[in-house]
Structure 1
Amino acid sequence: MRPATLVRLALAGNRTDTARVVLTALSALLATLAVLAALTVLAIPKPAGDAWAESEQYRNALLREPGLRGGTAFALLLLTIPVLALAGQCARLGAPARDRRLAALRLAGATPGQVTRLAVLETGLASLLGTLIGLGTYLVGRDLLHRPDERGRLALPTDVLPSSGALAAVVLGLPVVAALATALMLRTVTTTPLGVSRKAARERGPRPWAGVLIGLGLLCFVGTRPLLYQLEDDEALVRWLVPLLFLAGGFAAMIGVVLGTGWISYRCGVLLRRHARRAPALLAAGRLMSDPWAGSRTFAALLAAVIFGAGAAAIRAYFATKDEIEREHALLAGEIGGGNSFYLSTMDLVDAAVAVAVLIAAGGLIVALVEGIVARRRAYAALVATGVSRGTLGRSVAWQALTPAVPAILLALTVGMLLGTGLNGRRVTSGEWSIEVCSAEASLCADPATRAQYTEVRHFPAVDRAPDVPLEQLAWLGAGALAAVLLTVGVGLLFLRVSTTVEELRTA
Structure 2
Amino acid sequence: MRPGTLLRLALAGTRTDGARVALTALSAALATLAGLAALTVLAVAKPPGDEWTQSEQYTTALLREPGLRPGVAFALLLLCVPVLGLAGQCARLGAPGRDRRLAALRLAGATPGQVTRLAVAETGVASLLGTVSGLAVFEVGRRLLHRPDAAGRLPLPTDMHPAPAAVAAVVVGLPLVAALVSALLLRRVTTTPFGVVRRVRTRAPWPWPGVLILVALASFAAIRPLLLWYERRDAVEPDGLVPTLVVVGSLAAMIGVVSGTGWISYTVGRVLHRHGRGPAALLAARRLTADPWAGSRTFAALLAALIFGAGAAAIRADFLARIELSRIADSGGMAGSDSFYLGAMDLVDLAVAVAVAIAAGGLLVAVVEGVTSRRRAYAAQVATGVPRSTIGRSLLWASIAPAAPAIALALTVGYLLIRGTLPAPSGGDFERVVCDTGPQGCGTDGVATRTEWVPKVTVTPDVPWEQLAWFAAGGLAAVLVTVGAGLLLLRSATSVEELRAS
1:405 aligned residue: 403
Matched residue of 1:67: which SS? Answer: coil
Render the CA deviation track for 1:278-323: whole Å, top value 9, x for unaligned: 1101110111010000000000000101111111111110110001
1:60-459 residue pairs with structure 2 within 5 A?
A: 60-199=60-199, 201-232=200-231, 237-330=237-330, 338=336, 340-425=338-423, 427-433=424-430, 445=441, 448-449=443-444, 452-453=446-447, 459=453
Q: 1:361 to 1:375 in 2, by over 3 A?
A: same
**Aligned-pair distance for 1:150?**
2.3
Q: Distance in 2 between matches of 1:224 and 1:323?
A: 23
**Aligned-pair distance for 1:144?**
1.4
**Aligned-pair distance for 1:377?**
0.3
TM-score w.r.t. structure 2 length? Answer: 0.96
What is the aligned residue count?
A: 501
Q: Distance in 1 between matches of 2:333 and 2:400?
A: 53
Q: Distance in 1 between matches of 2:173 and 2:332?
A: 58
Q: Distance in 1 between matches of 2:61 and 2:430?
A: 28
Matched residue of 1:196: which SS? Answer: strand
Q: Distance in 2 between matches of 1:128 and 1:310?
A: 33
Q: 435, 458, 462: which one pairs with 1:464?
A: 458
Q: 454, 473, 478: which one pairs with 2:467?
A: 473
Matched residue of 2:426: which SS? Answer: strand
Q: Check the 8 A contact 1:326/1:339 in 2, yes or no.
A: no
**Aligned-pair distance for 1:441?**
8.0
Does residue 44 of the first structure (1) align with residue 69 of the second (2)? no
**Aligned-pair distance for 1:344?**
2.0
TM-score w.r.t. structure 1 length? Answer: 0.95
Q: 1:469 to 1:131 in 2, by over 3 A?
A: same
Q: Distance in 2 between matches of 1:76 and 1:4?
A: 36
* Structure 1, gaps ≥5 residues long: none
**Aligned-pair distance for 1:165?**
1.5
Greater shift, 452-461 or 494-503, is seen at 452-461
Q: Distance in 2 between matches of 1:238 and 1:320?
A: 31
Q: Distance in 1 between matches of 2:142 and 2:258?
A: 36
**Aligned-pair distance for 1:439?**
6.2
Q: Distance in 2 between matches of 1:147 and 1:327?
A: 39
Render the CA deviation track for 1:412-440: whole Å, top value 9, x for unaligned: 11111101101212x11113345555565
Q: RMSD across aligned C-alpha pairs, in angstroms?
A: 1.9
Q: Distance in 2 between matches of 1:102 and 1:15?
A: 16
Q: 482, 492, 496: which one pairs with 1:498?
A: 492
Render the CA deviation track for 1:34-82: whole Å, top value 9, x for unaligned: 1001100110111111222111111222211222222221111111111
Q: Distance in 2 between matches of 1:456 and 1:483?
A: 60
Percent identity between matched residues is 65
Q: 1:194 to 1:235 in 2, by over 3 A?
A: farther
AA aligned opposite 2:392 = G
Q: Distance in 1 between matches of 2:433 and 2:288?
A: 68
Q: Distance in 1 between matches of 2:108 and 2:234?
A: 65
Q: Distance in 2 between matches of 1:336 and 1:234?
A: 28
Does residue 482 of the first structure (1) align with residue 456 of the second (2)? no
Q: Distance in 2 between matches of 1:335 and 1:219?
A: 30
**Aligned-pair distance for 1:343?**
2.4
Greater shift, 145-154 or 275-284, is seen at 145-154
Q: Distance in 2 between matches of 1:336 and 1:392?
A: 56
Render the CA deviation track for 1:437-469: whole Å, top value 9, x for unaligned: 556588x638x545x516555542111121101
Q: Check the 8 A contact 1:254/1:304 in 2, yes or no.
A: yes
Q: Check the 8 A contact 2:326/2:335 in 1, yes or no.
A: no
Q: Distance in 1 between matches of 2:289 and 2:38?
A: 41
AA aligned opposite 1:429 = S
AA aligned opposite 1:70 = P
Matched residue of 1:239: which SS? Answer: coil
Matched residue of 1:179: which SS? Answer: helix
Render the CA deviation track for 1:227-265: whole Å, top value 9, x for unaligned: 111123586643201110011011101110111100000
Q: Check the 8 A contact 2:262/2:294 in 1, yes or no.
A: yes
Q: 1:53 to 1:275 in 2, by over 3 A?
A: same
Render the CA deviation track for 1:179-236: whole Å, top value 9, x for unaligned: 111111101100000000012x322210111100000000001111101111235866
Greater shift, 300-309 or 46-55, is seen at 46-55
**Aligned-pair distance for 1:328?**
2.3
Q: Distance in 1 between matches of 2:325 and 2:129?
A: 52
Q: Distance in 2 between matches of 1:149 and 1:328?
A: 40
Q: 1:154 to 1:411 in 2, by over 3 A?
A: same
Matched residue of 2:490: which SS? Answer: helix
Q: 1:352 to 1:55 in 2, by over 3 A?
A: same
Q: Check the 8 A contact 2:325/2:458 in 1, yes or no.
A: no
Q: Check the 8 A contact 1:63/1:69 in 2, yes or no.
A: yes
**Aligned-pair distance for 1:349?**
1.2
